[in-house]
Structure 1
Amino acid sequence: MGKTGAFISDDKRTDYFAAYRAAMADGPPPAAVLDVETSFGTTRVYRHGSGGAPLVLLHGLLAGAPMWASFWAKLSAEHTVYTLDILGEGGYSVQTEPMADHADRARCLDEVLAGLKLTGVHLVGASSGGWQAANYATRYRDRLATVTLIDPTTVTANFSFGALRYGLLLKLLPFDWMWRRFFRWAAGADVSGEPAIRLARATIGAYRPAVSFQTCLPEADLRAMDVPTLAIFSGRSAVHDSALAADRLRSWLPESEVEVWPELGHYLTAADRHRVADRLLRFVATRLPDHQA
């Protein structure tokens, strides 16, 4: 029988949610807090705003919904924004059944969107959230209007040797100083003070995730992904070969908009959130019915 994600102890759970609340305070309070039932457990969803086409935000690995807190005010001025605590990665979502593979992860997300009764969704994912957005879009297209991928990992290129080496070191040396070193390496700058990074570090020490390891999506599946796509890659991203990833995506999805921002490291949403938000909103605006008319 497979495993489900769970907190390591009550004390660590308490410490984690203190960091979670601090990260949530980086944005406005939600208009609604929703718990959506799926076949794999309950997914926590925050809604901001109440008008405009829906944006659904998927966070990076173990970063939780508060990763997007600093985006909520700007994005919800024009859209209804839904932000998930991805099931199996901590937060207030509660996993009760294992997810065996990538298909289960996509099915779980589809059940969340179905529970929210959403169509015409502009799906946005950063880092591993970008992988989850692409994994979903290659299997379920009917609910989607667009997909935006922000330095997505393992969509078209594998993790770098350095990222895999850090993964091994962090298993052997799971200390705070080592995590600080990893985040600085991945970002190309010291981002340890960012609320979302502090939350990711708190998650690592408090929560035992139970999700399948990311692997690159099949080329044929991506070529068949008939959804308007924006992909932004970090030119200084150390976790993968972003130039190779961008080139492959341009080739496999020739109608997509693919950009490489050469001066930034992996954590774009922390390094230049205003630029990311502006680019996302411009892309979505070009796909709205009024614009198309």
Structure 2
Amino acid sequence: MGNDRVLCLTIYKSEAGARLLRERYLEALRAWPGAREEVRVPTPEGETFVVVAGPAGAPPLVLLHGSGSNAAEWAPRIPALTGRFRVHAVDIIGEPGLSAETRPPLGSDRYARWLDAVLDHFGVPRAAFLTSSFGGWVALDYATRRPERVAALALRCPIGLGPMKKGFVVKAVLLSLLGEKGRRKSVAGTIGEPETSPIVEHQLLVSAHYRYRTGPFPVFGDAALSRLTMPVYAVAGADDAMVDSATTKRRLEAAGAVVDFMPGTGHYIPGSRDLEFLTDAAANGDFTA
């Protein structure tokens, strides 16, 4: 187990930065709406932190956050989600949460085996997934490898379906040369939010102390997408500065998914029909193995 693990000991830029982000996360967890369980799950990739909430007998729903984030990303939506589902908000490994700092190769099956261990720990043979950005890539990878374990897939601004836009990287580098003002403008433009947005403030804090993944994310081929036998819903912003959303829409629709393409919206998407979609999937019996 230990020898083949890819462990990144430097996902944080400093130990002080790691402590700061951890403290902020713990503050967010203390403000979590409603009752919750905090579970540390042993997996082949190291310990994984999961926040569990909602009625024990409700259909299981796994939440996978975006890059540079953690389970606290979902806190505003928890009251609505736990009204209908047993929620498992997972801190993805290698991200600034409380899970192990392991980052397996994206082209391997190790993320799928990691999620197998998480679901098995909770005795969940089959679950729906609600995801954001990089979490969508992780869920798509799992759904194409383990379609029998995915009841429904709701993707918010997913990556891995079309090429990442190269222009935003160049622009981000140039803006970073302008100091704090440039970095703020870069983050705001990347996620499609005003510079004064609390979301921009949070992302500036994270980027100051956390090392994001580098390199391209693997793009799923048509053969892989043909294995998405479960109901799939996605929402993508037409003005996404990072992702080629038009290609995302075209390829997912070709695979049978329902896609909402939102004009005037960037990578951050404030609302969508994902809860309605997941509720319908549960009512239609899609959670039954």
What TM-score, normalized by structure 2, do the two folds share? 0.85
Structure 2 vs 1, CA of residues 23 and 175 (structure 1 numbering), >3 Å: closer, same or farther? farther
Residue of 104, 107, 113 corresponding to 1:99: 104
Residue of 201, 204, 207 corresponding to 2:204: 201
Q: Does 1:188 align with 2:225?
A: no
Shift of 1:44: 0.6
Q: Does 1:136 align with 2:142?
A: yes
Q: Does 1:230 align with 2:233?
A: yes
How big is each residue's C-alpha offset from its partner over 1:213-241, in whole Å with a ceiling of 9 and x where there is no partner? 51211221012221210011112212122
Shift of 1:186: 2.2
Q: Which residue in the other structure is 2:261 paired with?
A: 260
2:151 corresponds to which letter in structure 1? A
Shift of 1:291: 6.4
SS of residue matched to 1:181: helix
Residue of 110, 129, 132 corresponding to 1:123: 129
Q: Does 1:48 align with 2:14?
A: no
In the aligned structure 2, how far is the partner of 1:263 from the partner of 1:285? 27
How big is each residue's C-alpha offset from its partner over 1:100-123, in whole Å with a ceiling of 9 and x where there is no partner? 333222221222122222133111
Give the ranges of 4+ consecutive aligned residues of structure 1 lying more than 6 Å apart after TM superposition.
Answer: none
Structure 1 unaligned blocks of 5 or more: none
Q: Which residue in the other structure is 1:164 paired with?
A: 169
Structure 2 vs 1, CA of residues 118 and 217 (structure 1 numbering), >3 Å: closer, same or farther? same
Higher deviation after alignment, 48-57 or 37-46: 48-57
Q: Which residue in the other structure is 1:61 paired with?
A: 67
Shift of 1:179: 3.6
In the aligned structure 2, how far is the partner of 1:223 from the partner of 1:101? 20
In the aligned structure 1, how far is the partner of 2:25 from the partner of 2:251? 36
Q: Which residue in the other structure is 1:283 paired with?
A: 277
In the aligned structure 2, how far is the partner of 1:284 from the partner of 1:44? 24
SS of residue matched to 1:288: helix
Contact 2:60 2:128 survives alignment (8 Å): yes
Shift of 1:48: 1.6
Residue of 15, 19, 22 corresponding to 1:10: 15
What TM-score, normalized by structure 1, do the two folds share? 0.84
Contact 2:13 2:209 survives alignment (8 Å): yes
Shift of 1:58: 0.7
SS of residue matched to 1:250: helix
2:282 corresponds to which letter in structure 1? L
Q: Which residue in the other structure is 1:109 paired with?
A: 115
Higher deviation after alignment, 159-168 or 86-95: 159-168
Structure 2 unaligned blocks of 5 or more: none
How many residues get paired? Answer: 280
Contact 2:136 2:156 survives alignment (8 Å): yes
Contact 1:3 1:210 survives alignment (8 Å): no
In the aligned structure 2, how far is the partner of 1:127 from the partner of 1:49? 24
Provide the identity percentage.
26
1:260 corresponds to which letter in structure 2? F
